[in-house]
Amino acid sequence: MLRDKSLIPLSRQHQHALALCVRIDRAAKAGKLALESWNAEVAGMFEQEITHHFAAEEEKLFPACTRVPQLQELVSELLQEHAELRRYFAQAADGQLGQEELMAFGEKLSAHIRKEERQLFEDVQKLMSEGDLAKLRVTLARSLDNAPSACSIRGEPTPPSPNNSGS
């Protein structure tokens, strides 16, 4: 199903976050996890993009969804996942994501995004009226207007060289 215009900005942000998950997975499989760099990138992504993304979902999208009885349980699950993901982001900000935590974070973030895209967004488009989707488009646009447009996909962090292991 084509994505409704109201949800496209959130889907684009999802693509950026999924790219991060793929890069984490590839780096882990290649044995190239420079944890300090990854912690900084994960924390930076939260600060620059995901905090605004979560706010738009929690303040605009999810309340609109809870007015549809069939979506209430799913929204509750997604809110719980946001709380769990915030704990990972806080660990990253403190430089505390180890290899196992980083891998678990990537898997959980990817699964969360896929649930929003494949379940919530699809159901929103099926169950909400055109009028409700139009209202949602306006409220989400206002919410995301203040978000930085940084959202660029960065290159993989490079591990420090043995001769330049300091800051």
Asked whether residue 112 carries a pLDDT value surpassing 90, the answer given is: yes
- pLDDT tens digits for range 34-65: 999 999 999 999 999 999 999 999 999 999 99
CB 136 within 8 A of CB 6: yes
pTM, 2 dp: 0.85
Amino acid at 65: C
Sequence ranges of the domains in the chain: 8-147
| Average pLDDT in the chain | 88
Query: What CA–CA distance (Å, rounded) separates 122 from 103?
Result: 28
Alpha helices (H) along 116-149: 122-127, 130-145
pLDDT value for 33: 86
8-147 topology per CATH: Four Helix Bundle (Hemerythrin (Met), subunit A) (1.20.120)
